[in-house]
Homo-oligomer: A and B are copies of this chain.
Amino acid sequence: MRCLKCRAPAQVEVRRHRSAFCARCYPDWFRAQVQRAVDHDRMFHRDERVLVAVSGGKDSLALWHALTRLGYQADGMYIRLGIADYSRRSQAKAEAFADKHGLRLHQVDLEEGQGFTVPDLRDARSGKPCAACGTVKRYHFNKVAADLGYPVVATGHNLDDEAATLFGNVVHWQTDFLGRQGPVLESTHPRLVRKVKPLYRLAERDTAAYAIVERIDYILEECPMAKGAKSLLYKDMLNTLEEQQPGAKQRFLLGFLDGGRKAVSADREPVVLRECASCGQPTTAEVCAYCRLAERGRRKAAAMAARYTQA
């Protein structure tokens, strides 16, 4: 196989596009895909400061790298989730990346600032904190962006992530979630900033290849709390489908965005937002989901601390 651009021997194949690239041309193709998504879905303008949600993994660092190279004013934000060694290692990767490229990285520390960590949020039934962790991350990324005047938060969700989420929502017919799923979530309140996913047309292996070619040092291991998560099962199933029908994953997601979503969300009612009685952030409930979780987390953390004090 030869590079689509320069005809040199190809090193990275993008099967669903029936394309291949050499290591010199591949990053340009990757960034062009990011640019295309930003423009196609009107994610942000050149004069808007973007806050990139950084985990230390390949997707978020590849996104930050690509946006910076494309000339956007992209700062990073890392949340210290307190998942033991995994959090320490991923924080080190995020900080090293920011240092190397001279970029600004905001940080929030859950334990110090909020009095709990993600392992305190384990669900009683599933034993997993993944859903709660999602709420925590969305809350702080949004709050920091709103506090510091960033109009938009960009996350590293890729095609595989989005297809797996869509798959889970379809399998359980979560029509509410289906109506809201997409690469852009517009701001509907002065304190809810726009959320965008510039990598939604790029597969997991595309971002891995970008990280390798651009020598981005990222944390390889998956979050230890996510083991056995449903999203991983859905990804496996979609990979089986993709093997038999190359491009199926992308058609599934883009077909939804182009047509299915409109059909599903036809008669959704607009959501009414008010201020959380506890923290003042916008919510549909009296006390927002984050404050309820945080309260539970603090109680759990306090109980654990008390147990060790007594012992």
Take A263-B266, A264-B264 as given contacts and tell me if A241 and B175 are in contact as well, using a CB distance cutoff of 8 Å. Answer: no
Residues of B within 8 A of A259 (CB): 173, 175
Inter-chain contact A175/B240, CB cutoff 8 Å: no
Q: Mark A221-242, 1 if CB is under 8 A from B, else 0.
A: 0000000001001001100110
> What is the size category of the interface that chain A forms with chain B?
20 to 34
- CB of A240 to closest CB in B, whole Å: 6
What are 5 contact pairs spanning A and B, CB under 8 A? A170-B170, A170-B260, A171-B251, A173-B259, A233-B241
Task: Please give, as numbers and ranges, the residues of chain B lying within 8 Å of A255 by CB-CB distance.
Answer: 172-173
**How many angstroms from the CA of A252 to the CA of B173 in the assembled complex?**
7
A248 at the interface (CB under 8 A from B): yes
A139 contacts chain B at the CB level, 8 A cutoff: no
Give the complex CA separation of A18 and B260 in angstroms.
Answer: 34
Partner pick for A171 among B233, B248, B258, CB 8 A cutoff: B248
Q: Is A112 an interface residue (CB 8 A)?
A: no
Shortest A172–chain B CB gap in Å is 6
Closest to A244 in B: B233
CA distance A236 to B236 in the complex (A): 13
Residue A267 at the B interface, CB < 8 A?
Answer: yes
Interface residues of A in 155-178 (CB under 8 A from B): 170-173, 175, 178
CA distance A173 to B170 in the complex (A): 11
Distance in angstroms between the alpha carbons of A60 and B237 in the assembled complex:
30
Residue A72 interfacial (CB < 8 Å): no
- Interface flags, A2-32, vs B, CB<8A=1, else 0: 0000000000000000000000000000000
Residues of B within 8 A of A245 (CB): 230
Interface status of A86 (Cβ within 8 A of chain B): no
A256 within 8 A of partner (CB):
yes
A245 to B265, CA, bound (A): 27
Enumerate chain B residues within 8 angstroms of A240, measured Cβ to Cβ.
233, 236-237, 240
Query: How far, in whole Å, are A237 and B237 apart by their CA atoms in the complex?
Result: 6
A221 to B251, CA, bound (A): 33
Other A-B contacts than A171-B252, A175-B263, A240-B240, 6 sampled, CB-CB below 8 A, are: A173-B260, A175-B259, A178-B263, A263-B263, A263-B267, A264-B264
From known contacts A173-B259, A259-B173, infer whether A241 and B237 are also in contact, taking CB-CB under 8 Å.
Answer: yes
Report chain B residues within 8 Å CB of A173: 252, 255-256, 258-260
Task: Provide the bound-state CA to CA distance between A240 and B240, in Å.
Answer: 11
* Chain B neighbourhood of A266, CB < 8 A: 263, 266-267
Q: Which of A32-78 contact B (CB under 8 A)?
A: none
The 4 nearest A-B residue pairs measured at CB: A173-B255, A173-B260, A266-B266, A175-B263
Specify which of A233, A240, A263 lies most central, judged by the most chain B CB atoms within 10 Å of its CB: A263
